[in-house]
Structures are given as structure tokens and as C-alpha cells.
Structure 1
Amino acid sequence: MKDFVFVFRQASYDQGNTSADEIEAVNKKWNDWIGGIAAQGRLKNHGARLEAAGKVLKPGGLVTDGPFVEIRERLGGFIVVSADNLEEATTMAHGCPALDADGSVEIRPIWNMSH
């Protein structure tokens, strides 16, 4: 088995216009999808949901506010899973709730430093 990170990118949106019921329904989709991966024993790290605000450090020590809300999509979070290969990991990513909101899932093998 090899470890892969699923990086979730989602369309930027104003959460202030989202009802509590809509938020609850989306959270349930995420919990069900991640729970299905965990039930298979494939969830290595539950990862984290990222807040929209942050800072960006650039070469030369330049620090800017970011990520910027005017971008079309933002990094929403990540999880780490185990799979036999990239194709299997990609299949596991199907059904991700980010896809329902015009988002995407980036599937990347994790570099094994011991090799």
C-alpha cells in the first residue's frame, strides 16, 4: 500500500448566504464519504478543513494576505488515504462532495523519504 493525499479545491463562495440546513447537509455528505473510506481501513489521516483566511510567504521574506477571495477556487482541505496505486486512489476520490460544488480533488502520491 502507498499513501496518497487528496487535496480538495472548492469554488469560492459567500458562506453568509448559506442556511444552517444547507451547511448540515453538506457536512453530512463529507462525513458519509470520508466515513466510507475509513470503513474500508483506507483513511490514514483525517486531514483538516482549512479556513479561508491566511498568509502567503514569498521569496525574500515578503508576506502578503491570502489566499485571496477573488480567486475562482480555494484550497478547502485534505485527507491522507492508502491505496495500491494512483488509479485505485483516483477511484476512491469519486463521490467527493467537493465535486458536487464545481470543485476538484487533486490526488497526489506522498513521497516516501526512506527510499
Structure 2
Amino acid sequence: MKEYMLIFRHQDGSKIASPEQMQIWMEATMNWLNGIAAKGKFEGKGDGLVFDNAKVVHHNNVVTNGPFGEIKETLGGYVIVKADSINEAVEFAKGSPILGGEGNTIEVRLLAKGDGVH
């Protein structure tokens, strides 16, 4: 079994949901993750990313605040799942409540092990 990272991309990270909306979203997300865990496929790793405290390091060590306004989408967080194939990991991603937001996406990537072998 391999590990895949599901990377959450939000169309506009500057739009903050109300506390009520966040509660509904968090409950739906926990239900989704619990469904993956019930299959023994949730690696137990994952976190959200804070939108308002970030820096981007560019070529030649130029550092900017960001990525605000520089890109149309922002990284919102990630989870790691175990799957037999990328197609199985994609099926997990399809169930995420994040996809309920217009323009939101989930990138599915195979994690390389320390020795570079998948």
C-alpha cells in the first residue's frame, strides 16, 4: 500500500466563513475522514494552513508576503491517506466536502519515500 497526499486548494482563501459555516464544514470534514479511517486508509496525518501568516521565498532569496493576491488559489491544507492505487486515492478525494466550494480542487500526489522509491 502506498501513501498519497490530498492537497486542498481553495479558490479564494481570503473569504473567511462564519463560525456557523466553519462548524458545519468541520463536521462534514470529520465525517469524511472518519469514513476513510474506518477502512484503515487514513494515515492520521494532516493539517490546515493559516492564510494570514505566510511568506514566499523566491529565486535569489527574495522574500515576499504572500501568496496573497499573487495567485488565484491558495493551499488550504492536506491529509495523507493509504491507498492501493492513485485511483483509490482519487476516490477518497471525491468525497471531500472541500469540493462543495466552487473552484476548489484537491491535488492527489504519491509520496516518495526517503530513498526516492515509491
Q: TM-score, normalised by structure 2?
A: 0.87
The CA deviation at 1:69 is 4.3
Task: Identify the residue that residue 26 of structure 2 maps to in structure 1.
Answer: 27
Task: Identify the residue that residue 100 of structure 1 maps to in structure 2.
Answer: 100
| Unpaired stretches in structure 1, ≥5 consecutive residues | none
Higher strand share: 1
Task: Identify the residue that residue 60 of structure 1 maps to in structure 2.
Answer: 60
Amino acid at match of 1:82: K
In structure 2, the CA distance between the partners of 1:38 and 1:69, relative to structure 1 (3 Å rule), is: farther
CA distance in 2, matches of 1:19, 1:5: 28
Deviations 1:23-58 (A, max 9, x none): 111111111111111121111133110011300011
Task: Identify the residue that residue 113 of structure 2 maps to in structure 1.
Answer: 112
CA RMSD in angstroms comes to 1.5
Superposition misfits of 4+ residues, deviation over 6 angstroms: none
| Unpaired stretches in structure 2, ≥5 consecutive residues | none
Taking only the aligned residue pairs, the percentage that are identical comes to: 33
Deviations 1:1-27 (A, max 9, x none): 001000000121421xx3322111111
Aligned residues: 113
Deviations 1:59-98 (A, max 9, x none): 1111000111463321000011110011111111111111
